[in-house]
């Protein structure tokens, strides 16, 4: 049984952040995961009675929740407070689609995963909030956004600029920032940094991006069509979700198609469950972007589509590629996969019918240049 006993630094219902967790190994020994190097000594040889004292003193939140899988050595908790979630939703600033395993606690919900996979939730929310802050004209709403930003990443330049810009006592706010997060800077220099950030380029680096996402089940000649569209029409490289998933697979060189397919499906589902945002961003960042249109193959999950839309690109087009079920089954069997239904029942295939139904374009795998040209024209 994989248990999370407590969350350190007792998160509140108003916050959204990453925090260390207290778990136990198979022998029942407590261990602390997610501490920064500078405070790693806090987790050394933590005993049950010491944890109880931390809980009683208000320095830890007791949760006692079972995890679906063994936590990584660098696991942390992504905490979403109930009050924060409600206020953010009211402002039209919900977080991106969250990891699959939601664990309840007093005052909020938490998600456990590697820090590198969960930190983007804070980073990209701050970018989205600051973008909204710059467009907003109502002073009260701006102050509400700035307050929320302070509950996420208070030291971020965007947060400091928003707090200063919306403050009724701007000079006092500057001085407070100088004493906390901006040591060594004068009020004048800090003020000019804030002005530059508030009037600079769009903080969303994906704002001008057009995404063309190809979806379709195993056995459909989807990747070939996506490759042709990218190469001959957009004149760019094809980016794939599988390329990022395969980076986490080891020892697959000598596997059969069936063995490799099973591992890719399981790994891909685990990546989506752990952090749809991390998988989406790593896929986009793997592209050598020379222009603003990116063709991505292998969309299989509604949560990934929703995540990509949340990130705020200029346009998201989904192209569904279809083929007869009999053709798909025959192709899978020719690759000596014993049971095509095992693939079709897998969680990585479950959302594809809905993605196909709601796609912007539905093509047969035999689609010619005319149909692909129409997609390009629609951009």
State whether 192 and 338 are in the same domain. Answer: no
Q: Indicate the residue among 180, 199, 218 that finishes a domain.
A: 199
State whether 245 and 138 are in the same domain. Answer: no
Question: Is 332 domain-assigned?
Answer: yes
State whether 19 and 133 are in the same domain. Answer: no
Question: Is 205 domain-assigned?
Answer: no
State whether 18 and 87 are in the same domain. Answer: yes
Residue 79: burial class (beta carbons within 10 Å; 0-12, 13-18, 19+): buried
pLDDT exceeds cutoff 80 at 40 = no
pLDDT exceeds cutoff 60 at 264 = yes
State whether 88 and 149 are in the same domain. Answer: no
Question: How many domains in the chain?
Answer: 3
State whether 257 and 360 are in the same domain. Answer: yes
Q: Which of 44-53, 138-147, 327-336 shows the lowest per-residue confidence on average (mean pLDDT)?
A: 44-53
If DSSP states are collapsed to H, E and C, what string results for the chain?
A: CCEEEEEECCCCCCCEEEECEEEECCCCCEEEECCCHHHHHHHCCCCHHHHHHHHHCCCEEEEEEECCCCCCCCEEEEEEEHHHHHHHHHCCCCCCCCCCCCEEECCEEEEEEEHHHHHHHHHHHHHHHHHHHHHCCCHHHHHHHHHHHHCCCCCCHHHHHHHHHHCCCHHHHHHHHHHHCCCCCCHHHHHHHHHHHHHCCCCCCCCCCEEEEEECCCCCCHHHHHHHHHHHHHCCCEEEHHHHHHCCCCCCCCCCHHHHHHHHHHHHHHHHHHCHHHHHHHHHHCCCCCCCEEEEEEECCHHHHHHHHHCCCCEEEEEEEECCHHHHHHHHHHCCCCCHHHHHHCHHHHCHHHHHHCCCEEEECCCCHHHHHHHHHHC
Q: What is the pLDDT of residues 153-166, one digit of tens each?
A: 999 999 999 999 99
State whether 132 and 232 are in the same domain. Answer: no
pLDDT exceeds cutoff 60 at 222 = yes
Stronger pLDDT, 214 or 31, i.e. the higher one: 214
- Residue 22 and residue 4 in contact, taking contact as beta carbons nearer than 8 Å: yes
- The CATH number covering residue 359 comes to 3.40.50.300
Question: Is 310 domain-assigned?
Answer: yes
pLDDT exceeds cutoff 70 at 259 = yes
- Residue 273 and residue 99 in contact, taking contact as beta carbons nearer than 8 Å: yes
Range of the domain at 272: 210-378
The pLDDT assigned to 326 comes to 96
Question: Is 204 domain-assigned?
Answer: no
The pLDDT assigned to 77 comes to 97
Q: Indicate the residue among 118, 136, 169 that finishes a domain.
A: 118
The pLDDT assigned to 39 comes to 62
pLDDT exceeds cutoff 90 at 209 = yes
pTM for the whole thing? Answer: 0.94
Cα separations in angstroms, 315 against 33, 90, 252, 347, 357: 39, 25, 36, 27, 19
Question: Is 172 domain-assigned?
Answer: yes
Q: Indicate the residue among 85, 102, 118 that finishes a domain.
A: 118
- Mean pLDDT in residue range 284-293: 85
State whether 247 and 156 are in the same domain. Answer: no
Mean pLDDT of the chain: 94
How many residues are given for the chain? 379
pLDDT exceeds cutoff 70 at 304 = yes
Share of the chain above pLDDT 90, in %: 86
State whether 152 and 224 are in the same domain. Answer: no
State whether 224 and 362 are in the same domain. Answer: yes
The pLDDT assigned to 43 comes to 57
pLDDT exceeds cutoff 70 at 21 = yes
The pLDDT assigned to 69 comes to 87
- Residue 361 and residue 349 in contact, taking contact as beta carbons nearer than 8 Å: no
Report how far residue 139's alpha carbon sits from residue 168's, in angstroms, rounded to the nearest whole number: 10
Kindly give, in sequence order, each residue whose CB lies less than 8 Å from that of residue 163, ignoring residues fewer than 6 positions away: 146, 149, 150, 173, 177
């Amino acid at each position: 049984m994989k248990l999370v006993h407590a969350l350190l630094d007792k998160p509140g219902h108003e916050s959204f952040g990453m925090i260390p967790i207290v778990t136990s190994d198979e022998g029942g020994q407590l261990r602390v995961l997610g501490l920064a190097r500078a405070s790693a000594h806090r987790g050394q040889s933590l005993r049950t009675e010491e944890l109880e004292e931390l809980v009683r003193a208000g320095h830890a939140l007791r949760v006692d929740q079972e995890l679906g899988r063994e936590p990584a050595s660098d696991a942390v908790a992504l905490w979403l407070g109930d009050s924060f979630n409600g206020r953010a939703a009211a402002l039209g600033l919900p977080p991106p689609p969250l990891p699959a395993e939601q664990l309840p606690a007093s005052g909020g919900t938490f998600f456990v995963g590697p820090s590198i996979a969960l930190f983007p939730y804070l980073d990209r929310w701050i970018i989205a909030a600051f973008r909204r802050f710059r467009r907003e004209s109502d002073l009260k709403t701006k102050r509400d956004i700035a307050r929320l930003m302070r509950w996420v990443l208070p030291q971020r330049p965007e947060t400091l600029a928003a707090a200063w810009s919306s403050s009724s006592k701007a000079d006092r706010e500057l001085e407070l920032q100088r004493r906390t997060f901006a040591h060594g800077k004068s009020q004048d220099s800090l003020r000019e940094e804030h002005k530059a950030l508030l009037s600079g380029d769009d903080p969303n680096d994906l704002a001008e991006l057009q995404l063309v996402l190809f979806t379709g089940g195993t056995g459909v000649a989807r990747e070939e069509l996506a490759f042709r569209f990218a190469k001959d029409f957009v004149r760019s490289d094809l980016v794939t979700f599988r390329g990022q998933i395969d980076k986490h697979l080891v020892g697959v060189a000598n596997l059969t198609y069936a063995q490799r397919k099973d591992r890719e499906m399981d790994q891909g589902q685990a990546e989506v469950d752990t952090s749809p945002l991390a998988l989406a961003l790593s896929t986009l960042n793997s592209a050598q972007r020379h222009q603003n249109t990116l063709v991505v193959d292998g969309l299989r999950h509604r949560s990934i589509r929703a995540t990509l839309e949340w990130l705020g690109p200029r346009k998201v087009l989904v192209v569904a590629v279809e083929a007869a079920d009999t053709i798909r089954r025959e192709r899978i069997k020719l690759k000596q996969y014993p049971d095509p239904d095992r693939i079709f029942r897998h969680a990585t295939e479950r959302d594809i019918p809905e993605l196909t139904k709601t796609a912007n374009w539905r093509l047969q795998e035999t689609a010619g240049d005319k149909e692909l040209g129409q997609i390009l024209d629609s951009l």
